């Protein structure tokens, strides 16, 4: 066979091998691209599902659980709150079983936005490392704005004092002072406490917060439970002249117990609902 023919056949075979190799490379590249596209689609799908789950968790943790847990907390602690309010204002405590739930609707409804603001804001503040002083000032003030009208209607209903729904709420200053100081005690104790037990820190925080904020709670309660709108100085003078310094801490043990039961009950409902969802 002539050498030229041999060289031609050899070159033809090399060309065929090269074409075959290029075809294999392109085929593998196409397969790899298809695989990468499938993986990308699966990843995007997982992200969408994860995002939906996060939204569902935020709705559950931020709205559903506070609503149900607030109703449970209100049902458990409301009779104690009625006793504490009447004892603080020096009025008749026992007025029958039915009256132990006087003002329950106002308290149950008011606690829902109250807890959403207080607990949700505290969770966000801890996540972004906001100090307990800033958290206490902001959350205590916002909580007071949200809770003021419901608290006034509730206190009036507990005492049987006629109250117009559209009446301008009274007692914002002592209420804000009470909430901010209580938040300082609760958040500060929890942040700097050497103990790691959540329930123990809650009890200690509630004890300190209630003890420091009780004078403002007494003035708030007296201001909202009477029909005449007295100034804080007038209410302070009435309390001091009637009971002395002790008068500013009337009902402190009952309120401390209510605060502990409220937060522990709230934690119980949150845990139970989290486990059941």
Q: What domains, with CATH codes, occur in the chain?
A: 40-276 (1.50.40.10)
- The residues near 189 (Cβ < 8 Å, ≥ 6 apart) are 201, 204, 205, 208, 209
Using an 8 Å Cβ cutoff, are 220 and 175 in contact? yes
- Paired tokens of 87: 């004892």
Q: Which residue has the higher pLDDT, 32 or 217?
A: 217
Lowest mean pLDDT segment, chosen from 6-10, 55-59, 253-257, 268-272: 55-59
CA-based nearest residue to 155, from 104, 92, 112, 111? 104
Task: Report pLDDT digits (tens) over 28-60.
Answer: 777 777 777 777 777 666 666 555 455 444 555
Rounded to 10 deg, the angle between the 252-276 and 65-88 helix axes is 170
Task: Report pLDDT digits (tens) over 122-145.
Answer: 777 877 888 888 989 999 999 899
Distance CA 215, CA 25 (A): 83
Averaged confidence pLDDT in the chain = 77
């Amino acid at each position: 066979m002539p050498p030229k023919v041999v060289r031609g056949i050899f070159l033809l075979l090399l060309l065929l091998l090269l074409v075959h190799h290029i075809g294999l490379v392109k085929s593998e590249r196409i397969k790899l691209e298809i695989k990468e596209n499938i993986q990308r689609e699966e990843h995007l799908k997982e992200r969408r599902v994860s995002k939906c789950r996060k939204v569902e968790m935020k709705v559950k943790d931020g709205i559903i659980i506070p609503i149900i847990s607030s109703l449970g907390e209100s049902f458990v602690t409301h009779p104690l709150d009625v006793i504490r309010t009447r004892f603080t204002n020096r009025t008749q405590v026992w007025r029958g079983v039915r009256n132990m739930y006087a003002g329950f609707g106002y308290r149950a409804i008011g606690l829902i936005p109250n807890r959403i603001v207080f607990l949700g804001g505290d969770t966000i503040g801890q996540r972004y490392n906001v100090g307990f002083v800033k958290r206490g000032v902001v959350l205590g003030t916002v909580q007071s704005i949200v809770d003021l009208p419901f608290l006034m209607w509730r206190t009036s209903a507990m005492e049987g004092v006629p109250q117009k729904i559209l009446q301008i709420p009274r007692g914002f200053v002592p209420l804000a002072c009470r909430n901010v100081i209580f938040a300082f005690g609760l958040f500060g104790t929890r942040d700097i406490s050497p103990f790691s037990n959540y329930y123990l820190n809650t009890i200690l925080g509630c004890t300190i917060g209630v003890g420091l904020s009780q004078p403002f709670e007494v003035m708030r309660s007296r201001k909202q439970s009477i029909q005449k709108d007295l100034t804080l100085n007038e209410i302070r003078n009435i309390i001091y002249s009637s009971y002395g310094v002790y008068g500013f801490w009337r009902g402190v043990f009952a309120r401390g117990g209510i605060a502990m039961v409220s937060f522990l009950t709230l934690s119980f409902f949150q845990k139970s609902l989290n486990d059941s969802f």
